[in-house]
């Protein structure tokens, strides 16, 4: 069983987002990137499957700030092979272009299973999973919270809105969009990550032919603008509280 997990790094929302003077992208100097949360679940799911049934886990990520930490942490959790995708990943690289290029690198690895995070907050043109599946010619199921493998098939739990869950069988090789791993991503002690930095190695692979044409173009990026609909209530806590109650009454919620 060979599981490949292509992950991406996304802007860290703990840091203030600053818009670049160009007005169409985020300021690269203040931007901090982190592993897309759902991709963290995809890695965990891959490791869990390996622990249960054996196999090999390959994690690949684009060469951007923070990528080494992400890859070594994956190794500390149990990933066997780390691949850094080298190329020019400006913020203009869209998922279509990325998926096409990454699919070309995944094909020769002949994976049985490709796991990706179901989505990321930086997706502008759809999520990676279905695009990858299309380029690879594999089936795709997304919104997965639970995977079991048997006889060249995966039984997956797919979540629907309203709390509905469907159990489906997928023939491998397949691409799965992971919403949540069977168990929350584990904690790795810092010493384990440091160990991985010494023992694991990161392979570099060049991503050729990133064709960014055809993706969406950002014409204007801006922060939510304050409209004049909000009423600021000022004064002592007591006064504010009474005014609030009055307002609730006026609006008919009390």
Using the rule CB under 8 A, is 191 a contact of other proteins?
yes
Q: At 91, is the secondary structure helix, strand, or coil? A: coil
Q: At 193, is the secondary structure helix, strand, or coil? A: helix
> CA 61 to CA 82: how far, in whole Å?
8
Tokens representing 113 are 């299973």
Using the rule CB under 8 A, is 232 a contact of other proteins?
no
- Closer to other proteins at the Cβ: 14 or 253? 14
- Closer to other proteins at the Cβ: 16 or 250? 16
50, β-bridge pairs? none
For tokens 């990550």, the residue is: 193
Nearest Cα residue to 51 out of 149, 191, 192, 144: 149
- Closer to other proteins at the Cβ: 187 or 222? 187
CB of 7 to other proteins, least distance (A): 16
- Closer to other proteins at the Cβ: 35 or 114? 35
Helix axes 67-77, 37-53, angle to 10 degrees: 30
Query: Is the preceding peptide bond at 173 cis, omega within 30 degrees of 0?
Result: yes
- Closer to other proteins at the Cβ: 18 or 165? 18
* CB of 37 closer than 8 Å to CB of 179: no
Select from 115-123, 130-138, 190-198, 208-216 the region that touches other proteins (CB under 8 A).
190-198
Candidates 184, 235, 248, 249: give the one binding other proteins (CB under 8 A). 184
- Closer to other proteins at the Cβ: 37 or 125? 37
SS (H, E, C) 177-209: EECCCCCCCCCCCHHHHHHHHHHCCEEEEECCC
Candidates 190, 216, 233, 254: give the one binding other proteins (CB under 8 A). 190
Candidates 107, 121, 194, 249: give the one binding other proteins (CB under 8 A). 194
Residues 99-128 that bind other proteins (CB under 8 A): none
* CB of 69 closer than 8 Å to CB of 16: no
Using the rule CB under 8 A, is 22 a contact of other proteins?
no
Using the rule CB under 8 A, is 15 a contact of other proteins?
yes
Residues lying near other proteins in the complex (CB under 8 A): 14-16, 34, 184, 186-187, 189-194
């Amino acid at each position: 069983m060979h599981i490949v997990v292509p992950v991406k790094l996304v802007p860290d929302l703990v840091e203030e987002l600053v818009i670049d003077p160009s007005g169409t992208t985020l300021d690269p100097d203040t931007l901090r990137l982190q592993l897309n949360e759902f991709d963290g679940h995809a890695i965990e799911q891959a490791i869990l499957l390996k622990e249960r049934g054996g196999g090999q886990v390959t994690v690949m990520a684009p060469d951007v700030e923070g990528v080494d930490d992400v890859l070594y942490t994956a190794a500390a959790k149990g990933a066997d092979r780390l691949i850094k995708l080298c190329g020019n990943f400006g913020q203009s690289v869209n998922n279509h272009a990325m998926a096409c290029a990454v699919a070309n690198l995944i094909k020769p690895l002949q994976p049985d299973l490709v796991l990706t995070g179901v989505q990321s907050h930086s997706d502008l043109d759809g999520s990676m999973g279905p695009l990858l599946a299309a380029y690879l010619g594999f089936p795709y199921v997304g919104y997965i919270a639970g995977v079991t493998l048997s006889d060249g098939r995966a039984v997956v739990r797919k979540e629907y809105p309203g709390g509905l869950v469907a159990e489906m069988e997928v023939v491998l090789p397949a691409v799965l969009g992971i919403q949540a791993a069977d168990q929350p991503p584990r904690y790795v002690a810092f010493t384990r990550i440091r160990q991985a930095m010494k023992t694991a190695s990161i392979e570099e692979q060049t991503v050729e032919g990133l064709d960014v044409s055809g993706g969406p173009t950002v014409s204007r990026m801006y922060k939510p603008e304050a409209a004049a609909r909000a009423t600021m209530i000022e004064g002592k806590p007591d006064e504010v509280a009474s005014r609030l109650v009055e307002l609730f009454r006026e609006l008919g919620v009390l």
